[in-house]
């Protein structure tokens, strides 16, 4: 997850989170976040993505043996 938090003024801030995963899980996370105390506005934007080429990373993680898999995602058309 990548997140951005910025102060708009002394009482208000904006937060943005970029997630990838199963749609149902992302939707549940967003609904829980939006329903939180003090939240004034909330919106979920879903972007369908296609999984492209999968390959192993160029290095081996410590104490794990095989390289970790990595996939490339691109927006679905």
Q: What is the pLDDT of residues 33-70, one digit of tens each?
A: 899 988 888 999 998 888 776 666 555 555 555 555 67
Other Cβ atoms closer than 10 A to 15: 11
Calpha distance 52→13 (Å, rounded): 36
CB 76, CB 50: distance < 8 Å: yes
Residue 25 has pLDDT above 90, yes or no: yes
Residue 64, pLDDT score: 58
Q: What are phi and psi of 40, to 5 degrees?
A: -95, -40
pTM, full prediction: 0.62
């Amino acid at each position: 997850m990548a997140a951005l938090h910025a102060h708009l003024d002394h009482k208000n801030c904006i937060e943005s989170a970029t997630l990838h995963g199963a749609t149902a899980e992302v939707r549940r996370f967003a609904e829980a976040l939006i329903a939180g105390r003090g939240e004034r506005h909330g919106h979920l934007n879903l972007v369908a993505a296609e999984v492209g080429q999968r390959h192993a990373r160029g290095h081996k993680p410590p104490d794990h043996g095989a390289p970790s898999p990595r996939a490339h995602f691109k927006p679905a058309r």
